[in-house]
A and B are shown apart, each in its own frame.
Chain A
Amino acid sequence: MGKRKERAAVPPSSRRIVAVSPDDGSAIALRQPELAAVLGWLLPGLGHLYQGRTWKGAISMGVVTTIFLAGLWLGSGRVVYASWRSDDTRWWFVPQAAIGAAAIPAVVQSLAVNGRSREPFWLSGWMAPPLHDGQLVSRRYAERLVRTDPYLEDGDFFDRPPYRQFRADQISMWHHELGRFFELGTLYTVVAGMLNLLLIYDAWAGPMHPPKDKQADPADDGDDDEAVADNPAAGP
């Protein structure tokens, strides 16, 4: 009880937030856990690097980013897109968005395609949602699609000045073109995002495993030491 009163008297700015390593009981400085979590969302492993947990951060960054990029490659860059239409609600984008900065272009592209310009911000169409039947697009974007996508031809667009109206279903074309790789690419990018959620938690709260002395002593009276009590995940 006395210990807790002493801790409360310390100004928040000078508090040192640590977790306990379950392997050797050493303290892990979490620095500012909330900032570490945000950095970890922005780029997998960056939160750990900020905390000085270099080895874990670097390997995590490599593993999760590789899986995400492999998914993008398997799906020819088309499996990560944001779409909230009633007939094509892309719920997979929710876990994909946990990968952070790498998924932000999908949001930008979706807003731009559905905005006044009727064309994606990056005209290459990278991470842009698929066109649906009746969708209006800019002339420039329609011409580019006809030129670069072998599945599309000029007859797939009606003239609706100043726009052109798509009259096919691009998501079906993508499925036909990619086959099982569309699903595989989606699976890889979704798993990468979900694994990054675990890493974000680790950056925020430290390892989930209880310290060794806790495992060995079931009769522990629950009087946490300083480090555990300061863990943001330890609760009140």
Chain B
Amino acid sequence: MIPSVLLFSLLLERVPMLLFSLPLIAAASFVFAATHHESPPAIWGATVEWTIWLVGILGVVLLAVILFGRLA
């Protein structure tokens, strides 16, 4: 059984920016949604939509960086 602290440390070491970007993406999604809607259900719905968009866009950028990094 691997201690969870060790597992967390390994994840932190391998993909630090990936891990730390998640709270920022969540916060940005909420604020983007909150500035476009007023009712709580609409804001939550838009937050999910924005999260998908941001993860998709940033994911494609990350993939492109990895791909070009390998090719270089």
Contact = CB atoms under 8 A, between A and B. Distances in A.
A201 B35 CA distance: 8
A56 B43 contact: yes
A187 interface: yes
A227 interface: no
A23 B42 contact: yes
Contacts of A22: 36-38, 42
A65 B48 CA distance: 21
A208 B35 contact: yes
Interface in A128-150: none
Nearest to A22: B37
Nearest to A201: B35
A64 B32 CA distance: 12
B interface, by DSSP: helix, strand, loop or mixed? helix
Contacts of B42: 22-23
Contacts of B23: 67, 70, 188
Interface residues of B, number: 18
A21 interface: yes
Interface in B22-46: 23-24, 27-28, 30-32, 34-40, 42-43
Given A192-B27, A199-B31, 11 more contacts: A21-B39, A63-B31, A67-B24, A70-B23, A184-B16, A198-B35, A199-B34, A201-B35, A207-B35, A207-B38, A208-B35
8 contacts: A23-B38, A24-B38, A28-B38, A55-B40, A64-B27, A188-B20, A188-B24, A209-B37
Interface of A: 21-24, 26, 28, 53, 55-56, 59-60, 63-64, 66-67, 70, 74, 180, 184, 187-188, 191-192, 195, 198-199, 201-202, 206-209
Interface of B: 16, 20, 23-24, 27-28, 30-32, 34-40, 42-43
